[in-house]
Amino acid sequence: MRPYFNRKKLFLIPFGIAAIIALAGFVVMGLWNALIPAIFHIGVITFWQAVGLFVLCKILFGFGKGGPMRGGAPWMRNRMEDRFGNMSPEEREKFRAKWEQKCGHGRWGGHREGNRFGDWDKQAPAPEKAAE
């Protein structure tokens, strides 16, 4: 039986990671040196400064899984809308009651009168224009 990881492939993984980091460093350095000095009159950066900037941004903003604010990404919002859209009326009411208890009445829904917690069955009424 063959092992799942081949030793040759396992040996190449660090080189692949180094190549990806090097490519990202060159891309960051090229973009920075092409744009930032001309726009903000700031000096150019070296390759190692670009790699450091790339790593710092990855630490601060995440590694591609939504970043520090999970669920803030558009694909996550769509996923949640699909999940809530497929709820039965009883599940929706239970969800609304739970959030009403958690958030407090009138505390969170003031800016969306009549469409609190996503009324998926009906559209919000169109705003009426004032008579001139």
Q: What is the pLDDT of residues 72-110, one digit of tens each?
A: 555 566 776 777 778 888 888 888 888 788 776 555 554
Q: For tokens 């000095």, name the residue.
A: 37
pLDDT in tens, 21-77: 999 999 999 999 999 999 999 999 999 999 999 999 888 887 765 444 554 555 566
pLDDT at position 28: 95
pLDDT at position 106: 53
Task: Please check whether residue 50 is in contact with residue 28, taking contact to mean a CB–CB distance below 8 angstroms.
Answer: yes
Task: Please check whether residue 37 is in contact with residue 43, taking contact to mean a CB–CB distance below 8 angstroms.
Answer: yes
CA distance 121 to 86: 11
pLDDT at position 93: 86
CA 52 to chain centre: 22
CA distance 31 to 38: 11
pLDDT at position 68: 46
